[in-house]
A and B are shown apart, each in its own frame.
Chain A
Amino acid sequence: MIFYIVRRVLYSIPIALSVGLVCFLLVYISPGDPISAIAPPDAPAEMIAQLRRDYGLDKPLPEQFLIWLGRVVQGDLGHSLATGRSVWGEVSVALQNTVSLAVAACTLAFALGMLLGGLAAAFRDTWVDRLAMTIAVAGVSVPHYWLGMLLVAVFAVTYPLAPSMGAGPGGTFVWDWAHLPFLILPMVTLSAIPLGLVARTVRGTVIEILHQDFITTLRGKGLRSGGILLHVAKNAAPSVLAVMGLQLGYLMGGSILVETVFSWPGTGFLLNSAIFQRDIPLLQGTILVLALLFVALNLVVDLGQALLDPRIKR
């Protein structure tokens, strides 16, 4: 077990480095001289020369990567072209909003997904199952940015029940009553996809477990359905938690569309403005932070799964 944990932790180091490499290369796949991606368009010649030396752009690519890596490790992600502020400062503020939204959406998706999937498995091949699975397929297939617009049209325009723009007073989301209404619509929108996936996973896993011999034994022993449910939940937990953990990561990295619809001041919104202003350092820094967060989350999910299910020892 310890061996597995150590190996898994060590394995995420090369992954994190490769993620850094991909992010580093983003500047180079963007068209034009990389300096034009870093320097403001109206920069004077001496400033460009200075920047070129600062970033080591006159050196060979592998060396540049090491220089860049050294800066990143020290927490220096460069400066935004548009605002001139440090990228890390911008990202760390936005990240709080993104994480709040993602955690809320994930919780909602988890609760509803368990309910739908559980009902579908319990009433297999009845209308309950079909209805639950139709909702799940719709959740997976819906263009969530469109769902967001739909919710705005219904619950902010036709029946003004919830605000549809921003994260509430102060521009940053805090967990209190004044900010909570702002969370509702983006949270529901963002939960659509994981809701569908969790419902499907739960249904599949529960049906598989119900077919196993030990369930028959438990029934034969005269255990009531409540007790059996406990056994099923215990066995389904690892795979459902794995899906959930991954989805939390996907939501953090993939909330750009929903954040754009609701002007939610998170990392997605930051990315959107970076794209619009061709602010490559901001784009690169935000993506790096999100991807590293995803790598860390993957690690936690794998370790958690191994702890929950001793059969996973690979």
Chain B
Amino acid sequence: MTLIAAKDTPATDTRAPEKAERPQGYWQGVGKRVLRDKATMFCLLVLLLMFLAIVFAPLIAPYDPYVGSMARRLRPVGTPGYLLGTDELGRDMLTRLLYGGRLSWFIGIMPVAIAFVIGSSLGVIAGFAGGWLNMLIMRATDVFYAFPSVLLAVAVSGALGPGIFNAILALTLVFIPPLIRISESTTAGVRALDYVEAARATGASPFTIIRVHVLPNVMGPIFVYATGLISVAMILGAGLSFLGLGTRPPEAEWGLMLNTLRTSLYNKPLLAMLPGICIFVTSICFNMVSDGLRGAMEVKN
């Protein structure tokens, strides 16, 4: 009976009215793919932890990075009170690694950031304008491509002399040409697409076309390429300090620490390796994140 009665009652739809679902955007898809990628997420997490550790270095670090005592120099890793030992001047290694990260990250990221702004602007202009402007910008880029990157960095910062800002200037100069090239080729690719042609046909100014149609489509790939360069910049920047060109003693910086600890390599190998491990971990994580992002952005596969 109840069954029949139930049947008789008009069927009411208990489900909520179906929401109009927004089609999944491109960046949403990229984000989802990155979140699913365990290796990339792990590296992002490592980078985030490192970033927090170096930002809050004054709160975490147990000692002063510049004060040491010759009485306790070159203590091995695991010494009570000095978790990672002490360096050749008796300064706490953990403290100096934390503070050192600040300069190393700065030297790694700043040049790429500046080169990103300059390189992508010039590259987009060259790629969009074509003609003589393209010729001018791209041929100038070719000149810098004629130098192996390490050599160019060493040449410029060697001529300018030691110092953080000279090192950053030299590295920026190294990273502008590759960013111009990638921006130019990406922009030239987008410019040839039909919707850009359509926009031009409707009378949009070049400025509007760049802002509305070109930039949103080229910035992603250029940005991902730039994140990959951070890894190189970290190695090169620390390398310049390792050569005595970037930061100067008593500054804490991973490359410089690696240099000053070189003489201790024979009796305290593990201790002397620590700054390099930091550079390696940072660099490999930036590389993996860059690879992961690139993979997530390639929709075709």
Interface residues of A (CB under 8 A from B): 14-16, 18-19, 22-23, 26-27, 29-31, 137-138, 140-147, 149-150, 152-154, 157-158, 249-250, 252-254, 256-257, 260-261, 271-272, 274-276, 278, 280, 283-284, 287, 290-291, 294-295, 298
Main SS of the interface on chain B? helix
User: Are A149 and B258 in touch, CB under 8 angstroms?
Assistant: yes
Q: A149-B258, A153-B269 are in contact. Are A18 and B159 (CB under 8 A)?
A: no
CB-based contact A22/B147 at 8 Å: yes
Once the chains bind, are B155 and A257 in contact (CB under 8 Å)? no
B residues lining the A interface (CB < 8 Å): 139, 142-144, 146-151, 154-156, 158-161, 231, 234-235, 238-239, 242-245, 255, 258, 262, 265-266, 269, 272-273, 275-277, 279-280, 283-284, 286-288, 291
Contacts of B286 in A (CB 8 A): 141
Do most interface residues of chain A lie in helix, strand or loop, or is the interface mixed?
Answer: helix
Q: Which residue of B lies closest to A145 (CB)?
A: B242
Q: Which of B139, B144, B150, B283 contacts A254 (CB 8 A)?
A: B150
Give A30's nearest chain B residue, CB to CB.
B159
Does A252 lie within 8 Å of B265, measured CB to CB?
A: no
Q: In the assembled complex, which residues on chain B have CB atoms less than 8 Å from the CB atom of A254? A: 148-151
A140 closest partner in B (C-beta): B287
Contact check, A143 vs B238: say whether CB atoms are below 8 A apart: yes
> Are B276 and A291 in contact, CB atoms less than 8 angstroms apart?
no
Contacts of A276 in B (CB 8 A): 244
CA A31 – CA B156 in complex, angstroms? 12
Bound together, the chains give a CA A146 to CA B236 distance in angstroms of 12
A28 closest partner in B (C-beta): B159
Contact B160 A31 (CB under 8 A): yes
Write out the residue numbers on chain A whose beta carbons fall within 8 Å of the beta carbon of B143.
Answer: 15, 18-19, 22
Q: B284 to chain A: which residues have CB within 8 Å?
A: 137-138, 141-142
Q: State how many angstroms separate the Cβ of B147 from the closest Cβ of chain A.
A: 5
* For the complex of A and B, 7 pairs with smallest distance between CB atoms: A146-B276, A253-B148, A254-B150, A153-B269, A253-B151, A141-B284, A18-B143
Asked, given contacts A137-B287, A152-B265, A158-B269, whether A290 binds B280 with beta carbons under 8 Å apart, the answer is no
CB distance from A35 to the nearest CB of B (A): 15
Smallest CB–CB gap between B260 and chain A, Å? 12
Q: How far is the CA of A253 from the CA of B159 in the complex (A)?
A: 16
**Are A31 and B243 closer than 8 Å at their CB atoms?**
no
> With A271-B158, A283-B155 in contact, do A157 and B243 touch (Cβ < 8 Å)?
no
Please measure, in the bound complex, the distance between the C-alpha atom of A144 and the C-alpha atom of B238, giving whole angstroms. 11
Asked whether, in the complex, the Cβ of B158 is within 8 Å of the Cβ of A275, the reply is: yes
Measured between beta carbons, the chain A residues less than 8 angstroms from B245 are: 275
Most chain A CB atoms below 10 A, which of B158, B262, B269, B287 = B158
10 contacts between A and B (CB under 8 A): A143-B283, A149-B265, A149-B276, A157-B266, A250-B148, A254-B149, A261-B262, A278-B161, A287-B154, A287-B155
